[in-house]
């Protein structure tokens, strides 16, 4: 039976699934390294602005779309106007691009979890990450040597993702009842440990004390906006698909607010965990916390394990941390897989859901092999950069324009208010029509300007083409689909 006709057993099950998708590696790994890179609290202000300005209105939009049309994102946009189906397709393509590398990061977490009981990285954290786990060939941008332990870890992850969703909504509800609360409980345990460490509070101050010195740095705003889109799983169609299984009487606004705020609360707690522990490490090593925090994507896999190794019981703390990362990531990964599978079920009704699920799992698993090679980290880095800064931001921009200018937004607002306790005012319409598009256009222009003036991370153009090519291809395919593909009606 297709997932489509099922209904969530309760509001709790729906919120858990939405949160399961939203709360993921983005909240711990991505959020903390971006916050560190952009000066801790200096990042927090743009992040909160992005949350209110963009995340809240767009989440309401996506939930409403799914709830009203009871279908996946392509068909939902197509119901507004046939030409808009490409906007929905962009979301599906983003899932298809992100899932393979997301699965590989889950694979890293699994390997770290496996090693955490004897923490072999102590004293050589950086080497352990780059050589033992990644088998990275430094400076070799097209080295396709295989890394068998990582491939095995990633293969296990794919099997788990497949099993999680192969049983439909009932299975998903069961899995998320563990994978949503467990990491949050672990984060609280780590938080208590962090803030009770000597100088742990210095890290907390670094993270929370208001600082506006970077307010004119556009890079901070760009990172904050693309982070909000990534972390709340906006633009992918996942939230639309999940909301399509809601019962008729569902409070869209309340559900959106709960999802958005809990998701960001988890990011902020994770930030507090990371920075309090770094505060202790800075004190122990006699270095400024800034230098530790600015370590980039290696923060969760190099600097943080190193910090944990300075605390009593490092094995237990490392085990808890990587278990937290793993459980956070699993439900996000299978939500991505489910989004893809649901789109295929819609598009190819002749085939059974189970065969389409196997097909999408296998195709994505094969693609993920690229990210396990000797140059895997470079590919991952460029694809993540271009996809989150252009494809995701571009998709959400198009969604806002489609919804704000082509759909009858005021009529949608009445629809949402008719089923929600909390009523939304005309500010919602105004945001979708003006504020969000304007903010996103400025961001996109700035991203283009800065990527043209300095190549990302000074990578060679041949490597940058991988990320640019993938994004460009997604936009071209969607454009073609919107304007040149024949009209199809599955409803």
Note the residues at the interface with ligand TRP (CB under 6 A).
21-22, 24-27, 95, 230-231, 233, 236, 238, 332, 335-336
- Look-up: residue for tokens 């809240």? 56
User: CB–CB of 92/74 below 8 Å?
Assistant: yes
Minimum CB distance to ligand TRP, residue 34 (Å) = 12
Minimum CB distance to ligand TRP, residue 267 (Å) = 8
């Amino acid at each position: 039976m297709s997932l489509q006709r099922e209904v969530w057993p309760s509001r709790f099950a729906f919120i858990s699934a939405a949160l399961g998708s939203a709360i993921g590696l983005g909240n711990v790994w991505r959020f903390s390294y971006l916050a560190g890179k952009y000066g801790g609290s200096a990042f927090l202000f743009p992040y909160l602005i992005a949350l209110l300005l963009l995340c809240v209105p767009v989440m309401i939009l996506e939930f409403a779309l799914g709830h009203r049309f009871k279908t996946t994102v392509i068909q939902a946009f197509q119901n507004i106007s046939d030409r808009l189906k490409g906007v929905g397709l962009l979301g599906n393509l983003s899932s298809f691009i992100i899932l393979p590398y997301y699965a590989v990061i889950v694979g890293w977490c699994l390997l770290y979890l496996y090693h955490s009981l004897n923490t072999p990285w102590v004293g050589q954290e950086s080497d352990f990450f780059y050589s033992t786990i990644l088998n990275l060939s430094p400076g070799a941008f097209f080295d396709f040597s295989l890394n068998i332990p990582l491939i095995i870890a990633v293969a296990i992850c794919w099997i788990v993702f497949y099993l999680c969703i192969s049983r439909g909504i009932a299975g998903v509800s069961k899995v998320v009842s563990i994978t949503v609360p467990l990491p949050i409980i672990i984060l609280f345990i780590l938080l208590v440990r962090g803030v009770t460490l000597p100088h742990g509070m210095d890290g907390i101050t670094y993270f929370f004390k208001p600082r506006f010195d970077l307010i004119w740095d556009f890079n901070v705003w760009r990172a904050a906006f693309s982070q909000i889109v990534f972390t709340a799983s906006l633009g992918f169609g996942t939230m639309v698909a999940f909301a399509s299984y809601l019962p008729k009487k569902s409070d869209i606004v309340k559900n959106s607010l709960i999802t958005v705020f809990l998701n960001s609360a988890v990011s902020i707690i994770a930030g507090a965990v990371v920075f309090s522990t770094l505060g202790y490490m800075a004190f122990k090593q006699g270095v400024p916390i800034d230098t530790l925090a600015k370590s980039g994507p290696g923060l969760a896999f190099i600097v943080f394990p190193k910090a944990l190794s300075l605390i009593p019981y490092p094995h237990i703390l490392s085990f808890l941390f990587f278990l937290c990362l793993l459980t956070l990531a699993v439900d996000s990964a299978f939500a991505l897989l489910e989004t893809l599978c649901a789109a295929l079920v819609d598009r190819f009704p002749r085939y059974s859901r189970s065969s389409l699920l196997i097909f999408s799992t296998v195709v994505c698993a094969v693609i993920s092999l690229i990210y396990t090679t000797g140059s895997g980290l470079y590919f991952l880095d460029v694809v993540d950069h271009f996809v989150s800064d252009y494809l995701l931001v571009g998709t959400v921009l198009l969604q806002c324009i489609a919804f704000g200018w082509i759909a009858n937004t005021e009529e949608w607002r009445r629809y949402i208010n008719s089923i929600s306790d909390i009523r939304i005012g005309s500010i919602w319409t105004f945001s979708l029509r003006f504020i969000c598009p304007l903010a996103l256009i400025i961001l996109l222009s700035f991203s283009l300007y800065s990527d043209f003036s300095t190549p990302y991370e000074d990578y060679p153009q041949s490597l940058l083409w991988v990320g640019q090519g993938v994004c460009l291809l997604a936009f071209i395919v969607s454009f073609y689909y919107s304007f040149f593909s024949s009209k199809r009606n599955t409803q």
